[in-house]
Chains A and B, each alone.
Chain A
Amino acid sequence: MNTAYQIVVCGSIVPDPLQTLEPVTGPAGPALKNEMMLPAVLDPWASHALYEAANFAKHSAGSKVWLVSLGPKAKLQQVMMTVAQKVPFELIALDGPASGFTDAAEVAALLTEAIQSIPGLDKAKLLVFGGWESASRGAGATMQIVGERLGILDQFQGVDELKLNPDGSLEILERIEGGKHQVSRCVSPPALLGWATGNLPEPKNNPQVGMVNMRTAMPALQKAKPVKLAGESLTFKSVSLPKQLRETKIVKDKSADDIAREIVEWIRK
C-alpha cells in the first residue's frame, strides 16, 4: 500500500547546548542574557523528528516534508544554512520569539495556524511531527495542543520508532517509564508524533540538498509572518541559576581497595 504522506515537522531553535546561559529579567519578563548573540541550533529532539520525517517520506513515494519553525528571522536563517543541507523539506517560517519562557499554548496556536495555511493540506495524509520536548521550555506540551487544535485524536509522545505496516497502519514505539517502550498500532493518518531520539544518525551535510532547500527557504524567511506572544496568562516570580556548588572532597592518595571499601559502605548506608 503506497500513500503519499504530508509530514509537517514543528521545530524551533535553541541556544547551542554548550553555551553558558544566564537568565535576565526584562520589561517583557524573563529572557536569556545576550540571547540574540548566542549561537543557535535546531532543537535536538525536533532535529530527530525532521530526520525521521525525511526518512519516512523517502520510503513513501510522493510524500513531502514541511518544517514549521517559530523564531527570530535572523536566527532562523543562520540555523537553516546548516539544517537545510541535511534533508529535503519546505520551510514555513514564523518571525517571533524562540524563548523558553513563552507559553506552550500560545506557541501551539501559532504553529497550528501555520500548518492550516499549507495549501492542499489533506488530513487523511497528515502526519504531524515534532520533538516531544524542547531544550528550552522543555514542557512537552506544545505538540499535544497543536494536535488538539487540529482535531488529531491519535497522538504519541516520546516516540523512538515509526513503522509502516503493509496494510497502511502505523506501528509506533513510545517511551514509557522504566526503560520500556509501549507499542501501539494506529489505523491510518492523521496522527501526531512527538519524537524522542529515534534511531537515525544525524545525516551528513549534502550541499545539493542544501541548494534545493534554500531556493524555497530564503523566500519563506523573507515573507515570514511577524508574530507576537501576549504572555498574559503566565507570571514569572523568579528565574535563577541553581546555587548548589558542592564542596568536593578530592581523594587522591588512597589505594583502590580502600576506595572500594569506602564506596561499598556508602552504597550500603
Chain B
Amino acid sequence: METILLLAHTEPDGTLAKSAFEILGAATSLNSSLAGSKIIAGLVGETVQSAADSIAKCGAVKFLGVAGADFAPSRYASDAAAAEAICRAANASLILAPATARWNRVLPAVAQRLGGHADTHITGIEASNGSISVNRWYYRQRMEASLQRKGRPWFILLEPGSQPAWGGERAPAKMETINVNLPETCKRTTVVGLREPTADAQTIRPDADLLLVAGAGWTKKQADGQPHVKEAEKLILGCLKLARASLGSSKSLVDLSGEGQATLSFLTHLNQIGQTGSTPRHAKGLATCCHGEEPHTVGWRFVNERRAINLDPGCGWARGKADVLYVADAFTVVAKVNELLAEKPAA
C-alpha cells in the first residue's frame, strides 16, 4: 500500500506550472493501478492556497503546504527544509515531483536526508502486480532502462513533457499548513534575480511546437567561396520569430565561438543539444545544415516529427533519424520559408 505524495512548488504568481499537472496525471494513474494507495498533495511556495484550489478535485486525501516569503525563491536550503517537512508529515512512500531545475537541485539530497532513494529524469512510470517500474535514459539518451526499487521513500522526478497532464475544475481545497522555522544557516544564500536575454534575443522557448536546429554548415563557405554568417543570422532569427520556434544548435557550431571563429552571435551553450547539451521535447523539429552521426543526433531524440534540410543526401544526422530529408540549400529554402510564413495563411 503506497502513499503517493505529489510534491510541487508554486510559480511566483502562486499558480502551478504545467509540469506539476503532468505529475498529478502520473500520480492519479499510478493511484488507480495500486490497490489501497492514496494521494497526498504537498505544495511549497510563497503562497499555496490558489495552487491547491486548482487541483482540489484530483482525489488527494490531504493537502499539505509550506508557505511564506522564505519559500518564494528557488534556494537549496529553504527548499530542502520545506520538502523534508512535507515528506515527513505525509509519511509518503512514493514522492512524485516534476524534474524542474528547482526540484532537481534539492530532492536527491532530501531523499538522502530521509534515508530514501531518488531517481531523476524519469520518462515513464507504471505499476503492475503491485510493483512500480520507472524508465529513464542512460549515457546521454543513448539507451533506455526500466528499473525498480524496493526501498522507500522513493523520490521519482519526472521529466516535464513526458506525462499527460491532469485536468480538473477549481474548488476550495482544505490546506494544512506546516510551519517550518528556517534557521539563519539556511538563509546564507540570497536569490538576487534572473538574467535572461531581452525578449527579441530569447531563442530558447521550451513551449514552442517547433525546434529549429542550426548546424555548423550555416557558417561554412557557400557557393561563392565566402561564408555568409550575417545572412545566416538574419534567416535563422527570422524563422524563429515567424514560426515562434525554439533554437537548438550542434556542439560544433557553439564551439566555434570559443575558438574565435565567425559564428552566430546569439548562440550560447544553452542552445546546445545532444551529447553535452539538452534533449528538448517539441512536437516538431527542423534540422538545418547539421552533420554527424550518432551520438550527435541524440539532441532530437524526444522530438516527435523530424525534418531536415541538407545538401548531403547521405547525411547521418538525417538518414534513419528524420522523417523527411530535403536535399537543398538551407539558405535558399529558409529564405522562402520565411517569405511564406510572413504571409497570412489562407483561410
Q: Give every chain B residue within 8 A of A141 (Cβ-Cβ).
A: 108, 118, 120
Stretch at the interface among A3-11, A183-191, A213-221, A222-230: A183-191
Contact A263:B307 (CB < 8 A) given known A138-B139, A256-B329: yes
The answer to whether B138 touches A249, judged by C-beta atoms less than 8 angstroms apart, is no
Chain A 57-87 residues near chain B, CB threshold 8 A = none
Contact A17:B196 (CB < 8 A) given known A141-B120, A248-B325, A267-B243: no
Q: Give every chain A residue within 8 A of B320 (Cβ-Cβ).
A: 245-246, 248
Q: Which of the four size classes fits the interface of chain B? A: 35 or more
Nearest CB on A from B291, distance (A) = 14
Residue B13 lies at the interface, judged by CB distance under 8 Å to chain A: no
Contact A241:B337 (CB < 8 A) given known A179-B202, A179-B270, A184-B191: no
The answer to whether B321 touches A147, judged by C-beta atoms less than 8 angstroms apart, is no
Cα–Cα distance between A135 and B185 once the two chains are bound (Å): 33
For residue A103, which residue of chain B has the nearest CB? B117
Contact A264:B138 (CB < 8 A) given known A176-B194, A179-B204: no
Contact A254:B101 (CB < 8 A) given known A144-B109, A181-B195, A235-B149: no
Residue A12 lies at the interface, judged by CB distance under 8 Å to chain B: no
Q: Give every chain B residue within 8 A of A188 (Cβ-Cβ).
A: 188
Cα–Cα distance between A129 and B95 once the two chains are bound (Å): 28
Residue A140 lies at the interface, judged by CB distance under 8 Å to chain B: yes
Chain B 162-204 residues near chain A, CB threshold 8 A = 185-186, 188-197, 202-204
Interface size in chain A (residues, C-beta < 8 A):
86
Stretch at the interface among B25-33, B60-68, B71-79, B85-93: B71-79
Q: Using a CB–CB distance below 8 Å, which chain B residues touch chain A? A: 74-77, 80, 100-102, 104-106, 108-109, 111-113, 117-121, 133, 137-140, 142-151, 185-186, 188-197, 202-206, 209-210, 243, 258-259, 269-272, 275-276, 284, 286, 294-295, 301, 305-307, 309, 313, 318-329, 332-334, 336-337, 339-341, 345
Q: Using a CB–CB distance below 8 Å, which chain A residues touch chain B? A: 14-15, 17-18, 20-21, 23, 30, 32, 44-45, 100-101, 103-105, 108, 135-142, 144-145, 147-149, 153-158, 160, 171, 173-188, 196-197, 201, 233-242, 245-252, 254, 256-257, 259-261, 263-264, 266-268
Given A101-B138, A142-B108, 5 new contacts (CB under 8 A): A145-B112, A153-B76, A237-B133, A245-B320, A248-B321
